[in-house]
Amino acid sequence: MGHSAVPKRLNACLRGRLRRFFGGRGGNVATIFALSLVPLALAAGAGLDYARAVVVRSHMSQALDAAALAVGATNGLSQSSMQTLAQQYFDANYRLDSSYGTPSALSFPATGAQSFQITASDAMPTTLLTVIGIRTLQISTSTTVKWGQTKLWVALVLDNTGSMCQSDTYPNASSPCPSPYSGSKIAQLQSATHSLLTMLQGAAANAGDVQVAIIPFVKDVNAGTGNVNASWIDWTNWNATNGSCSGGSGSTQSLCTVAHCSKSWYTTKTTCQSAHGTWYNAGTWTPKNHSTWTGCVMDRGTNSGPDASYNYDVMNTSPVSGSASSLFPAEQYSNCPQSLMGLSYDWTALDNKVDAMVAGGSTNQTIGLVWGWHALSQGDPLDAAALPANTTRYIIILSDGVNTQDRWYGNGSTQSTQVDARMSAVCSNAKAGGVVIYAVFVDIGGTQGNSSVLQSCATDSSKYFDLTSADQIVSTFNAIGQQITNLHVAQ
């Protein structure tokens, strides 16, 4: 017998049994079986299409969350611009192909003061459900974004030193750079700060709930020439180095008012002239008008060093009557930075202040931090209001280098451990006073290594950022802004 005979017999047998099954009992069994296939097919079709719907809804939700957070981070735009931005982010993050349908344009109603909602919908084509006339399934999902913290005081302590002219491409660029190119650290900082200001503006439920101070720093800070008559300015050093000498010789008060030889090692007129030097009699020193002051102030203390008893240079203590070391000493620093701005919610003025920053000078992070703390404190010099209830105070410091010079220590080119010590003190004092500190270190290419003093300055490790590229400044400021405004997806 051939091998093919067995399958043929089995097939014939099977066909016979099926004919008897469908033909038995007057066709009832066949009818029941056929009818039972309908719900089974519907169940299978519904299960498959439901699974597809779950996939669509999940992808829409993820894309919608990304769109909502992007809009929340750039709030302050017009309604139409916000909707356009949301659609762009949604389209960029929605990954399913057209077989799952094409989501309609996002629904973006008018935003509220503290939250806004965006809705996405899709008419998803069905597969097996089409047999019963269900050709699409309507899928919809919404996302609500809220700003959880709406009362903030933020001091932005921003490095304006010469090295901020540098970039990833030109790490040795010279300074100052009044018109920095787009890739430079100072230009990236300006872009990042504008973005952060927009985010902070959007987080305010009411005008004034969020206020920001801008504190550019180098070796000095610029308190602003408008404070020329302020009682808290000490003019002693400025008067002694800015003026003219009559009846004598010297570019400073100390040289002008004391008789001396042009050859400084001779101390008497006789020896001076015997050595063919010129003897100058004591003259009269006349300080320049204070209107010529550029606005710069140095660290508080004495000429010989910080006031060891009160440590005014690392405290937010207001000036004390009769205490010269508690005043803010004026200086005519050649690289005086852009003037600072105390707490404000004039967002245009804040943006203008950022645009006016120019990089040049040496680094003293201590003075930037202490003035950031002053901006968040009552009393002179910046006279903040009483802290409103439920308001959190932040200092965000960004610097691209090590401390190189303050009023007393350092040469402006190499790291000064003495300045580092003063910085550590002000950070500890401000944090003890309830200020939360974020610290950002811009270390192009990682050439300087970690900044231990900035790292320890931050309130905790999550608030310290070590950047190795200038273009990371924008994303870092956006991340900080999202954290401090508690911008989050609510549902």
Local confidence band at 67 (pLDDT 50, 70, 90 cut-offs)? confident
- Average pLDDT across the chain, whole number: 88
- How far is residue 279's CA from residue 249's CA, in Å, rounded to a whole number? 9
> Please, are residues 340 and 303 in contact by the beta-carbon 8 Å criterion?
no
Could you tell me if residue 1 is inside a domain?
A: no
Please determine, for residue 14, whether its predicted confidence score (pLDDT) is greater than 50. Answer: no
Range with the poorest average pLDDT among 102-116, 229-243, 298-312: 102-116
Q: Are residues 330 and 466 in the same domain?
A: yes
Please determine, for residue 30, whether its predicted confidence score (pLDDT) is greater than 80. Answer: no
- pLDDT tens by residue, 127-136: 878 878 888 9
Could you tell me if residue 6 is inside a domain?
A: no
Q: Are residues 60 and 175 in the same domain?
A: no
Q: Which of 89, 101, 111 is nearest to 52 (CA)?
A: 101
Q: Are residues 251 and 312 in the same domain?
A: no
Given 145, 169, 186, the domain boundary residue is: 145
Local confidence band at 435 (pLDDT 50, 70, 90 cut-offs)? very high
Residue range of the domain that includes 191: 152-234+296-489
Q: Are residues 224 and 252 in the same domain?
A: no
Q: Are residues 186 and 163 in the same domain?
A: yes
**What local confidence, expressed as pLDDT, does residue 480 receive?**
95
- pLDDT tens by residue, 365-417: 999 999 999 999 999 999 999 999 989 999 999 999 899 999 999 999 999 99
**What local confidence, expressed as pLDDT, does residue 108 receive?**
77
DSSP state of 486: T
Local confidence band at 167 (pLDDT 50, 70, 90 cut-offs)? very high
Could you tell me if residue 417 is inside a domain?
A: yes
Q: Are residues 406 and 478 in the same domain?
A: yes
Q: Are residues 53 and 162 in the same domain?
A: no
Could you tell me if residue 341 is inside a domain?
A: yes
- How far is residue 199's CA from residue 474's CA, in Å, rounded to a whole number? 12
- How far is residue 189's CA from residue 197's CA, in Å, rounded to a whole number? 12
Local confidence band at 425 (pLDDT 50, 70, 90 cut-offs)? very high
**What local confidence, expressed as pLDDT, does residue 45 receive?**
60
Q: Which of 300, 299, 294 is nearest to 225 (CA)?
A: 294
Q: Are residues 369 and 339 in the same domain?
A: yes
Q: Are residues 164 and 130 in the same domain?
A: no
* Higher per-residue pLDDT: 254 or 113: 254
Q: Are residues 205 and 176 in the same domain?
A: yes
Given 97, 115, 145, the domain boundary residue is: 145
Could you tell me if residue 8 is inside a domain?
A: no
Please determine, for residue 70, whether its predicted confidence score (pLDDT) is greater than 90. Answer: no
Q: Are residues 358 and 450 in the same domain?
A: yes
Instruction: Quote the percentage of the chain above a pLDDT of 70.
Output: 87
Could you tell me if residue 35 is inside a domain?
A: yes
Q: Which of 253, 331, 264, 322 is nearest to 299 (CA)?
A: 331
Range with the poorest average pLDDT among 101-115, 173-187, 402-416, 473-487: 101-115
Could you tell me if residue 309 is inside a domain?
A: yes
**Number of domains within the chain:** 3
12-31 mean pLDDT: 48
105-111 mean pLDDT: 76
CATH of the domain at 481: 3.40.50.410
Given 123, 145, 167, the domain boundary residue is: 145
Q: Are residues 272 and 334 in the same domain?
A: no
Local confidence band at 1 (pLDDT 50, 70, 90 cut-offs)? very low
> Please, are residues 330 and 233 in contact by the beta-carbon 8 Å criterion?
yes
Could you tell me if residue 80 is inside a domain?
A: yes
Most confident of 1-10, 103-112, 348-357: 348-357
* Higher per-residue pLDDT: 310 or 22: 310
